[in-house]
């Protein structure tokens, strides 16, 4: 039984989907006014883990992720650049897709864009007006919070307790109550707007998620995810709009992932600790090492991003890669060592039990590393048969449908991924994915010749040269193994 911590109620509870075997999932997507930073990716990777694990447990998933392509920031950005909204947001949408693939995140089933769903939003606002939950003021339409008594249930907020914030937003005209929020914003000079039956204007921030989720998932669906900062007001407002309009429960389970901080502090451009994915990759790190790091801390815990932690993540992932390489090299037939099957089963049980428990990734990973720890000694003593090694490798392939931290064939082909290759003794013909340059191959071959001639000075010089190229050599009994490594530690 899978259990999740539901923000609504604040407790870990059994997960029971509305339709057996099916999960309807909505995750808050990017506002495409800029490139995402690694904190955004932390959230998307958490959602990917969630999704992959649900699939692993046999669920079919219908995943919707919105693309917010009209809001204050996209409008401001487009104006500043003197281009249309569509032209302004397009590169960010494309970059989002690229980075998502780079991080091995499965695409959603639907990526509805706000600008493509104006009629649905208008319809929803119309319903709210008709039902008396909304009112007009100076061309804008607001949601009247005091008509929705359940307001504040998700975030456990009492409106009276809210610290009165600065109310200098020029968009806010006269509202009945300070906390009422805009469903529809009156047109302003120079801003894009739509002519609709509820009047000209553009949608408020929250309405798109309510309108698009109902379209693709129905009035009530299973899971809604986002960052903790979305709890209030965004998700609170979504609940108010959706439940007021539809008269039924909006979402059964809310999952919120905690923030990522850098060196213990919130990322900010002024502090110089603000990283986008490209900034990290530019330092030579493998994107899947980044994925591993962002994945390996429980989603409800604040994640402190440091390059030291990234180095540790890389090493941990390397240990898995080395282990898989060693499995590949097993050629022996049989053995009377300890049986492998129980070790694999124990690992699988631990892995599933961990993730079943509100995605306890640490427990799941511990089970995986324990398997490595148990099999490596057998490997070292030559007590693993080829068949057994294949079984262990198959297990890793199985769990990697969830973790997705191993080089995938497509990305490995680009040669960016640290992956063990293997060169038969003396020939340096490399096999296996990962790719290595022709000069690299030639150097390995030269070094093998030098070693055969006991010219160790030359051999070591070549090894250093390859290291400078980011290639580490490991001399094994039956040949030389190479792997690519990232930037130097420290």
Is 451 an interacting residue with respect to RNA (CB under 7 A)?
A: yes
Told to check if 62 binds RNA by CB under 7 A, we report no
**Count of Cβ atoms closer than 10 Å to residue 103 Cβ:** 21
Exactly one of 9, 119, 377, 426 binds RNA (CB under 7 A); which one? Answer: 377
- Rule CB under 7 A: choose which of 89, 104, 241, 297 binds RNA: 297
**Among candidate residues 213, 374, 254, 314, the one with its CA nearest the CA of residue 12:** 254
Kindly tell me which of 58 and 231 has the beta carbon lying closer to RNA.
231
98 or 156: CB nearest RNA? 156
Taking CB under 7 A as the binding criterion, the range among 116-124, 329-337, 364-372, 391-399 that sits at the site for RNA is 364-372
Binding footprint of RNA, residue count (CB under 7 A): 82
- Give the integer Cα–Cα distance in Å for 46 and 67: 18
Residue 326, interface with RNA (CB under 7 A)? yes
* Interface with RNA in residues 391-430 (CB under 7 A): none
- Residue (10 or 119) nearer to RNA, CB: 10
Any idea which residue has 């709210």 for tokens?
Answer: 128
Which among 408, 402, 362 is positioned nearest to 59, based on CA atoms? 402
Phi and psi at residue 264, in whole multiples of 5°? 80, 0
Give me the least distance between CB of 142 and RNA, in Å please: 11
Least Cβ distance, residue 104 to RNA (angstroms):
18
3-class secondary-structure state, position 29: coil
Query: String of b and e for 402-418 (b: at least 16 CB within 10 Å)?
Result: bbbbbbeeebbeeebbb
Q: Is 383 in the site for RNA (CB under 7 A)?
A: no
In terms of CB distance, is 157 or 390 closer to RNA? 157
What is the distance between the alpha carbons of residues 433 and 452, in angstroms, rounded to a whole number? 27
CA distance 92 to 40: 14
Q: From the CB of 48, what's the least distance to RNA, in Å?
A: 13
Crossing angle, helix 287-295 and helix 307-328, to 10 degrees? Answer: 110
Closest Cα partner for 211 from 96, 93, 85, 115?
115
SS3 251: strand
CA-closest candidate to residue 28, choices 181, 224, 218, 183: 224
Let me know: does 142 contact 131? Beta carbons within 8 Å.
no
User: Of 84-92, 117-125, 191-199, 319-327, which part binds RNA (CB under 7 A)?
Assistant: 319-327
CB 313 within 8 A of CB 403: no
Nearer to RNA, 155 or 241 (CB): 155
Judged by CB under 7 A, the chain residues 131 through 190 that form the site for RNA are 155-158, 161-163, 165, 169, 178-179, 181
CA–CA dist 381, 336 (Å, integer): 11
What is the C-alpha separation between 89 and 75, in angstroms, rounded? 10
Q: Pick the binder of RNA from 48, 99, 123, 311 (CB under 7 A).
A: 311
Strands 60-65 and 22-27: parallel
Q: Which of 269, 260, 271, 268 lies closest to 228 in space, CA to CA?
A: 260
Binding to RNA (CB under 7 A): which residues in 195-234?
205, 226-234
Contact 220, 248 (CB under 8 A): yes
By rule CB under 7 A, what string of x and - marks binding of each residue 19-58 to RNA? Answer: ---------x-xx-----x-xx-xx---------------
- In DSSP terms, 262 is beta-bridged to 265, 305
Q: How far is the CB of 228 from RNA (least distance, A)?
A: 6
* Least spacing, CB of residue 373 vs RNA, in Å: 5
* Piece of the chain touching RNA by CB under 7 A; list 17-25, 210-218, 339-347, 368-376: 368-376
The two tokens of residue 275 are: 């990283």
Question: Residue 247 class from Cβ within 10 Å (0-12 exposed, 13-18 middle, 19+ buried)?
Answer: exposed
Per rule CB under 7 A, is residue 106 in the interface with RNA? Answer: no
Nearest distance from C-beta of residue 267 to RNA, angstroms:
6
Residue 161 or 174 having the CB closest to RNA: 161
Nearer to RNA, 197 or 314 (CB): 314
Q: Is residue 272 near RNA by the rule CB under 7 A?
A: no
Residue selected from 267, 355, 399, 423 as contacting RNA according to rule CB under 7 A = 267
Nearer to RNA among residue 413 and residue 487 (C-beta):
487
- Report, in Å, the least distance between residue 468 CB and RNA: 14
Which residue, 130 or 279, is less far from RNA as judged by CB? 279
Pick the binder of RNA from 57, 319, 328, 391 (CB under 7 A).
Answer: 319
Residue 300 binds to RNA (criterion: CB under 7 A): yes
């Amino acid at each position: 039984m899978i259990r999740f911590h539901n923000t609504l109620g604040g407790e870990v509870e059994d997960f029971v989907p509305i339709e057996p075997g099916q999960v309807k999932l909505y995750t808050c997507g990017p506002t495409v006014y800029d490139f995402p930073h690694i904190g955004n990716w932390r959230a998307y990777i958490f959602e990917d883990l969630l999704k992959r694990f649900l699939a692993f447990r046999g669920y079919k998933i219908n995943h919707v992720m919105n693309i917010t392509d009209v809001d204050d920031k996209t409008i401001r950005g487009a104006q500043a650049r003197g281009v249309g909204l569509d032209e302004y947001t397009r590169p960010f949408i494309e970059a989002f897709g690229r980075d998502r693939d780079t991080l091995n995140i499965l695409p959603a089933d639907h990526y509805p864009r706000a600008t493509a769903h104006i009629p649905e939003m208008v319809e929803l606002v119309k319903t709210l007006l008709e039902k008396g939950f909304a009112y007009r003021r100076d061309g804008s339409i607001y949601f009247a919070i005091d008509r929705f008594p359940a307001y504040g249930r998700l975030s456990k907020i009492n409106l009276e307790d809210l610290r009165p914030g600065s109310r200098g937003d020029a968009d806010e005209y006269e509202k009945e109550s300070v906390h009422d929020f805009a469903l529809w914003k009156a047109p302003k000079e120079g801003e894009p707007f739509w002519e609709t039956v509820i009047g000209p204007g553009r949608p408020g921030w929250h309405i798109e998620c309510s309108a698009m989720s109902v379209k693709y998932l129905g009035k009530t669906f299973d899971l809604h995810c986002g960052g903790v900062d979305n709890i209030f007001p965004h998700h609170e407002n979504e609940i108010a709009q959706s439940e007021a309009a539809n008269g039924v429960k909006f979402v059964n389970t809310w999952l919120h992932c905690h923030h990522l901080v850098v060196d213990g502090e919130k990322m900010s451009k002024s502090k110089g600790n603000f990283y986008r994915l490209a900034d990290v990759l530019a330092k030579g790190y493998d994107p899947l090492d980044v994925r591993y790091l962002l994945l390996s801390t429980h989603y409800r815990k604040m994640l402190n991003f440091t390059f030291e932690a990234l180095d540790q993540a890389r090493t941990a992932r390397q240990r898995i890669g080395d282990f898989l390489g060693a499995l590949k090299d097993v050629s022996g037939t049989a053995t009377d060592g300890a049986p492998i099957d129980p070790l694999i089963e124990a690992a699988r049980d631990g892995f599933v039990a961990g993730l079943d428990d509100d995605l306890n990734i640490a427990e799941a990973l511990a089970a995986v590393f324990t398997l490595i720890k148990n099999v490596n000694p057998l490997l070292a003593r030559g007590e693993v048969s080829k068949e057994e090694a294949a079984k262990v490798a198959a297990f890793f392939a199985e769990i990697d449908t969830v973790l997705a931290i191993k080089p995938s064939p497509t990305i490995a082909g680009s040669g960016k991924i640290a992956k063990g290759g293997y060169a038969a003794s003396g020939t340096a013909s490399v096999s296996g994915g990962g790719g290595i340059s022709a000069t690299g191959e030639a150097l390995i071959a030269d070094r093998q010749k030098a070693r055969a001639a006991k010219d160790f000075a030359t051999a070591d010089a070549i090894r250093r040269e390859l290291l400078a190229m980011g290639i580490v050599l490991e001399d094994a009994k039956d040949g030389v193994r190479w792997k690519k490594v990232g930037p130097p530690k420290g």
